[in-house]
Amino acid sequence: MADGYHAEIVEVRAKTGVYGEIYQVLCKILDGPDTGRVILRNIKGPVKQGMIIVLLETEREAKEIKGR
């Protein structure tokens, strides 16, 4: 798919970034070769559970944020 892959946000895990503008989310891939796979990604901007986002690629996955 040239335009990207649709994914649904299943769970918002944590906020990160210098100003708290990055959200770490679990998202379920809705189309493409990885359909049904749930991956951890970092998303910039306001997000909430159930939103549909477009990912340019589905191979990369974010590292989980460790608590201090």
Q: Can you point out the beta strands (E) in 1-68?
A: 5-16, 22-29, 38-44, 52-55
Copy the structure tokens of residue 56.
């340019």
Q: pTM for the whole thing?
A: 0.85
Q: What share of the chain is helix, strand, coil (3-state, %, to 5)?
A: 0, 45, 55
56: left (phi over 0), alpha (psi -120 to 50) or beta: alpha
**In the chain, what are the domain boundaries?**
5-55
Can you give the pLDDT of all 68 residues of the chain as single tens digits?
568 999 999 999 999 889 989 999 999 999 999 999 999 999 999 999 999 999 999 999 999 988 66
Rounded to an integer, what distance in angstroms lies between the CA atom of residue 36 and that of residue 29?
A: 5
Q: Which CATH superfamily is domain 5-55 in?
A: Nucleic acid-binding proteins (2.40.50.140)
